[in-house]
Each structure stands twice: as structure tokens, then as C-alpha cells.
Amino acid sequence: MPSKESYEENSLVQKANREANQEDMLAAALGMRVGPQKPPAAFWQPLKLFAYSQLTSLVRRATLKESTPRAEKIHNFKVHTFRGPHWCEHCANFMWGLMAQGVKCSDCGLNVHKQCAPLVPNDCKPSLRHIRKVYSCDLTTLVNAYNTARPMVVDMCIREIESRGLKSEGLYRISGFTDSVEEVKSSFDKDGEKTDISAKAYEDINIITGALKMYLRELPVPVISYDAYPRFIEAAKLSDPEKKLEAFREALALLPESHTETLKYLMAHLKRVAQNEKFNLMNAENLGIVFGPTLMHAPNQDAMTALNDIRYQRQVVEVLIKNEHVLF
């Protein structure tokens, strides 16, 4: 039977061999050439710690490949300079260079080579750690980050408006005090769902309607997206009622899922606003005038064409409000 000293000696030898193998593997991954005289342990320790930290990002990437997100979203890649050695989360190969080694998704934090970026599937899963603001944030990005059907700004503002403002004269037409609207915007950007928009905080309901309209106007991609815009305009020009509704259904099918959910919720709300026209003096046509340019912007058109589209933008919203029960 081997002695205790012999057993401990064998254990130390095995441990040393394992560490040597790990160092050889790390050197290979980093593309380093190590001679017979290997660097001391103090040289390897920081590299080992960093390499192990990279495993979490590679595992996360593998998880992304195995699961399909509810709403498909492209990554928002931007050139990035990484501190220290870094591995691509798409091909798992090393990123070379001292500066601008690759690109990083500003919505989910995915790190890949520049050449790998076009190969990454549209599986971005935004994280709240990377979302810096609520206003001017892509609608689908915000929805996925908060795991909600619609942006919380839309839900919270509409709930508040319906609880105390449906009978307010000139609802959505009358503007709230600009500084107060900006204050609500800043609060949403800073506090998110914790923002207080109650009557105690803002007695004037027009401040809340102003904050909602501002959110919708500042979306990078409007609720009625640029891709779907021409189809909605063409649908509004049709005179036959049945063909018009069918054209609207086809146009709605072009919207991203989060945009459709937001538009559906908003139109149901505006229909309830119109049903209180006797008090607020806002019918579907008036609401169309307010929300047409808010929900849809002409994509890359000359000024004259965009000007001519304004009346059709109004008609699009009017049709959506009046036919909300059959179109959604």
C-alpha cells in the first residue's frame, strides 16, 4: 500500500500536469507560442481568470441558438473596442487587434467579429442592462427588454387617461405645458415603470396625452413602419369599402408583432375617446388629424409628396379607429 507521502506527491504531480495542459490550451486559443521555458504562474493567472469569464458569454450564445425568441429582432451592432483578449460569440474564435476588434450589439451586448455580424441570425434579446432610455428607443427593443406586449409608456399613459380624462374637452388636441411634458419624458427614461403620472403628480391630463404623443413621435421606426407605409396610403385611397378593408388587413400584416399590438391597443383607446365625443369634442376624424403624422412618417419622400400624403395619413387613422373591431 502506497504511503501517505507518496499519495500526496502523486496528487501534486497530477495537478501540475492538469495546469500545464490548461496553459497549453490557453496559449493555443490566444495564438501564443510558448517555448520550453514557460512563463511563471503569475503570468498565467490573469489570463486564466479572463478565459473562464468568457465561458459565460459563449454559453449565452449557445443558449440563443437553441431558443427562438417570440418576436424576431435584428441586432444593433456598433464597432467596439474590447479591453483585453476577447472571443467572438458567433464563431468562438479569438478577436485580434488592439482597437475596434469587432462589433457589439448595443441592445443585448452580443460581441462578434465584424465579418461575423452579417451571419448572426435575427435573435436579439434586449437586456435592461443595455437600454439607456425609454423615449427614442426602438419599439421592439423596448418591448423585448421589458418582456411586455406593448411599451410601458403606452400602457401607463392610456390607463391614466381613461381613468380621468375621457371627457376632457379637446383631449389630445390641447397641448400640455411643455416643461411638464419633458419632465414626464425624463422620468420615464430614468425610472421606467416606477414613473408617477397620477393626478397628484400631474393634475392636467393634457400633460399625459402630450407625453404619449411625444413618445410615439420620437420612435426611430414609427408605429406604422416605413415598410408598411406605402400600403396603408394606397389602402386609404380606395373607394370601395370591402376592398379598402381587405387592403388595410394586408397592410397590417406587414407590421412587426410589437407594432401591431401597440396599434391595436391604441386604436381601441381612441375609439373609446371618440365614443365620448359629446364631452371631449374629439371624433374619429379629429383624432385622425392629430395621430396621422404621429403614427406614420413618409419614408424618404420629397416634400411635395409628403405634403400630399398628410390627408391620407389622417384617413388611415380614421379608418383604423372606426373599424378597430374588425381589423384587429
What does the pLDDT look like over 144-159, one tens digit per residue?
888 899 999 999 999 9
Question: Mean pLDDT across the chain, nearest whole number?
Answer: 82
Provide the pLDDT for residue 304.
77
pLDDT higher than threshold 60 for residue 28: no
Report pLDDT for 99: 82
Q: Is the pLDDT of residue 19 over 90?
A: no
- Categorize the per-residue pLDDT at 59 as very low, low, confident or very high, splitting at 50, 70 and 90: very low
pTM value is: 0.68
pLDDT value of residue 1: 55
pLDDT in tens, 219-230: 999 999 999 999
Lowest model confidence (mean pLDDT) among 10-14, 171-175, 193-197: 10-14
List the Cα angle 181/185/189 in 5-degree steps.
170
pLDDT for the residue 327: 96
